[in-house]
Amino acid sequence: MSEREVFTQALADNLRELRDWTAPYGILVGIESAGRGKVRTITFGVARYLDATIKVFSPTYIILESAGPMARYGSPLSFKSSGELLEFIKEHWV
């Protein structure tokens, strides 16, 4: 596995520990096309209140996109580390 894949999986595991994300799909880890390359993604949410996608371009460049009533903080948001991202999620959505 690549460094980015390992990083993304570890981030998804940390999200699972924070809360019971009630969207029907739970937490999905995937990959999407982005420009000339690919980006690792984590999709999660709270049924009827939050749909969120984390895009991991590198361990130091992470984008959070969100929609729904719980997503009051503008989208997309940029983070420089998983710790910074998880702190935001704990503070606002857990």
**88 domain residue, yes or no:** no
10-residue stretch averages of pLDDT, the chain, 94 residues long = 85 83 79 89 86 90 88 84 88 78
In a domain, 91, yes or no: no
Q: Does residue 94 fall inside a structural domain? A: no
Task: Give the per-residue pLDDT at 78.
Answer: 93
Residue 54 sits in which domain range?
3-83
Within the chain, residue ranges assigned H as helices are 3-18, 82-93
**How much is the pTM?**
0.86
Residue 28 CB partners (closer than 8 Å, separation 6+): 41, 42, 43, 44
